[in-house]
Homo-oligomer: A and B are copies of this chain.
Amino acid sequence: MKSDTVFKQAFNQTLDLLSAAGTGAALPSENALSADLGVSRTTVRKVLFQLAKRGYIAGQGRNRVVASAVPDGAHFPHTETIATAQQVEVHFMEWMLRGQAQPGTQINELELARVFGVGTTGIREFLNRFRRFGLIVKRPNAGWVFMGFTREFAMELFEIREMFELRSARALAQLPDNAAIWHRLRTIEQQHRDLLNEIDARYQDFSDLDNRFHRLINSAAPNRFIDDFYDIITLIFHYHYQWNKRDERARNAVAIHEHLEYIQALLSRDLERVQAACSLHLASARATMLAAFDAA
């Protein structure tokens, strides 16, 4: 049976909307809510029906109003709003990075299904999608093997990353003056400066900024295969940042300075300088990740 996480999440979001609107306020139309919450109107109606049943809203049809303040425990628990497929991803990454999953470990679908509390179909589907990250390999009729998040994996990942990013940086530097990207580049430059000013308090925000910065560069000349590859980078870095906390503040400060020089290079449109700044930053990022392997 399908889980009703979509409904529960929409329900919780609508609860927040009610609180914001306050008692007596009229509700938006079902269509408006549907567009707002990003779910079908069918689900919106289910939410509205439940809200009415609990007395948080009153009225019928187009005369619905907020009837009472929403009590504290009205929301569904956060865990019930996460689709099975997403739960599997989180669990699996945890299992892989934190657990004692050695290279060569066999992955047992049934066991994972039991441990994660989902059906085997969910596991199977996840593994099939996850395969493209290059960390697991399938042997037909005989299960999956975990290849290990190894130094070699990181090296191969970075080789492609450098190839792609140099290409995108070059393309970006050659865009015309009136391209929308220059404004976005200035914006993200400012965000770097802001972060640098509060580096002691906010250094953990760098992970997200880093991701947005590199995706911006890749958006200069879109290519679906490069975008796809960036999903891999994002995932790996996301979990790597959670896992490797050593010297985090210092590392991030260095990276921000490299980004700023990289941005200056792009703004200058000097191809030589762009390539130099790009290579320098990527080499440094690679060294950081490889150092984590040597330490472990």
Contact = CB atoms under 8 A, between A and B. Distances in A.
Interface of A: 6, 83, 121, 124-125, 128-129, 131-132, 134, 140-141, 153, 156-157, 159-160, 163-164, 167, 223-226, 228-229, 232
B129 A131 contact: yes
A128 B128 CA distance: 7
A32 to B, nearest CB: 19
Given A132-B132, A163-B163, A163-B167, A156 B125 contact: no
A163 B221 CA distance: 15
Contacts of A121: 121
Chain A binding surface SS class: helix
Given A132-B228, A134-B228, A223 B159 contact: yes
A125 B128 CA distance: 7
Contacts of A140: 83
Nearest to A147: B224
A83 B140 CA distance: 11
Given A6-B141, A131-B129, A163-B163, A157 B225 contact: yes
Contact of A125 (B83, B124, B160, B226): B124
Contacts of A129: 128-129, 131
Which of A125, A153, A223 counts the most chain B CB atoms within 10 A?
A: A223
A242 B293 CA distance: 47
Contacts of A164: 163
A207 B65 CA distance: 67
